[in-house]
């Protein structure tokens, strides 16, 4: 078998610049391998299998917007799973969710908003919904909960709306929770039960569009995990600023487990949990 063809430098730059212009997402040299892997199929179907001429065809007068969408959907797809990163899950379960819920109870407001930003196909948003349901036990229906799941990738948002998953993405879900919150489908997959599904509101949205981000304001918790790596420093600054503005006082932002907001945003307070970090919006002085 022939080894898979990798992108040449010229091809990589052409693709990188086009995607950056369309989405604000930047595939740096560090993430070149991702762009390479994610465009392989599309390029193998392209007329002369060359990224430079493929991009040229998309930009030209006969460029097909559907093909542009297809490319964007291919390159922005990310793998995720339920109950990813046990330490962050523990911090949410033992600290953040009880604290946020208690604060609302204290002020007699049961309106809770959460934002899963760069949600991919929704596993993270539904995980938080399950954690909330577990914390609130039988009182879930007393609360008005909205978990926004946004992503730039249309395919991912459609998958989130469908809420049906392959068994592999459920591998970290404890057995009792799997039985409680999922229904097995006839084709061997698992559908999120309605009581959880109705908490999540999924839509396509770009994080680099500050006006669009304003829609997800007044939230108590933002999950922005493993998303910043795709942005330039300026875009990172803007995205974190949007998160800061969208959070309520004392709200929490979670980044990916190896990411930090240091040097990008100094308004947050870093909270260290057991093997996990979160950024808290402090009360105004």
> Binding of other proteins at residue 104 (CB under 8 A)?
no
> CB atoms < 10 A from the CB of 171, how many?
11
Distances (CA, A) of 171 to 13, 85, 114, 167, 190: 37, 12, 24, 7, 11
* Number of helices and strands in the chain (H, E): 12, 10
Q: Which is nearer to other proteins, 78 or 95 (CB)?
A: 95
Is 182 strand, coil or helix? strand
> Binding of other proteins at residue 95 (CB under 8 A)?
yes
> Binding of other proteins at residue 186 (CB under 8 A)?
no
Distances (CA, A) of 234 to 43, 152, 237, 240: 30, 19, 5, 10
Considering only residues 212 to 271 of the shown chain, the ones binding other proteins according to CB under 8 A are: 258, 260-263, 269-271
Site string for other proteins, 260-279 (x = CB under 8 A): xxxx-----xxxxxxx-xx-
DSSP, residue by residue, 205-232 = --TT-HHHHGGG-SEEEEEETT-GGGS-
Nearest approach, Cβ of residue 275 and other proteins (Å) = 5
Task: State the sign of the Cα–Cα–Cα–Cα dihedral 219, 221, 223, 229.
Answer: positive
Nearest approach, Cβ of residue 262 and other proteins (Å) = 4
Distance CA 171, CA 168 (A): 5
Q: Which is nearer to other proteins, 126 or 268 (CB)?
A: 268
Nearest approach, Cβ of residue 99 and other proteins (Å) = 9
For residue 279, what are its two tokens? 């950024």
Nearest approach, Cβ of residue 27 and other proteins (Å) = 23
Counting residues that bind other proteins (by CB under 8 A) gives: 19
Nearest approach, Cβ of residue 229 and other proteins (Å) = 15
Distance CA 270, CA 280 (A): 6
Q: Which is nearer to other proteins, 49 or 269 (CB)?
A: 269
Nearest approach, Cβ of residue 86 and other proteins (Å) = 11
Q: Which of 71, 91, 149, 152 binds other proteins (CB under 8 A)?
A: 91
Q: Which of 42, 68, 90, 164 binds other proteins (CB under 8 A)?
A: 90
Nearest approach, Cβ of residue 201 and other proteins (Å) = 28
DSSP state letter for 25: -
Distance CA 181, CA 4 (A): 41
Is 200 strand, coil or helix? strand
Q: Which is nearer to other proteins, 114 or 192 (CB)?
A: 114
Is 247 strand, coil or helix? strand
Nearest approach, Cβ of residue 11 and other proteins (Å) = 34
Site string for other proteins, 49-88 (x = CB under 8 A): ----------------------------------------
Which residues of the chain form contacts with other proteins (CB under 8 A)? 90-91, 94-95, 258, 260-263, 269-275, 277-278, 280
């Amino acid at each position: 078998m022939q080894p898979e063809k990798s992108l040449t430098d010229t091809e990589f730059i052409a693709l990188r610049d086009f995607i950056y212009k369309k989405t604000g997402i930047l595939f740096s040299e560090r993430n070149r391998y991702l762009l390479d892997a994610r465009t392989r199929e599309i390029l193998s179907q392209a007329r002369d299998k060359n990224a430079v001429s493929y991009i040229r065809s998309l930009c030209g007068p006969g460029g097909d917007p559907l093909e542009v969408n297809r490319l964007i959907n291919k390159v922005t797809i990310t793998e995720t799973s339920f109950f990813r990163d046990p330490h962050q899950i523990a911090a949410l379960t033992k600290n953040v969710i009880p604290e946020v819920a208690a604060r609302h109870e204290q002020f007699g407001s049961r309106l809770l908003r959460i934002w899963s930003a760069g949600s991919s196909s929704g596993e993270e948003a539904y995980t938080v919904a399950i954690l909330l349901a577990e914390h609130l036990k039988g009182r879930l229906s007393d609360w008005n909960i909205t978990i926004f799941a946004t992503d730039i990738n249309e395919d991912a948002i459609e998958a989130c709306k469908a809420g049906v998953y392959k068994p592999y993405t459920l591998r970290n879900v404890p057995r009792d929770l799997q039985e409680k919150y999922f229904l097995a489908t006839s084709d061997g997959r698992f559908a999120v039960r309605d009581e959880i599904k109705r908490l999540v509101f999924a839509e396509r949205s770009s994080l680099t569009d500050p006006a669009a981000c304003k829609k997800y304001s007044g939230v108590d918790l933002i999950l922005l995990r493993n998303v910043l790596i795709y942005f330039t420093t300026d875009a990172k600054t803007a995205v974190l600023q949007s998160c800061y503005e969208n959070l309520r006082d004392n709200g929490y932002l979670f980044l990916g487990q190896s990411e930090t907001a240091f040097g990008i945003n100094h308004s947050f307070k870093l909270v260290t949990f057991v093997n996990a970090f979160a950024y808290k919006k402090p009360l105004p002085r």
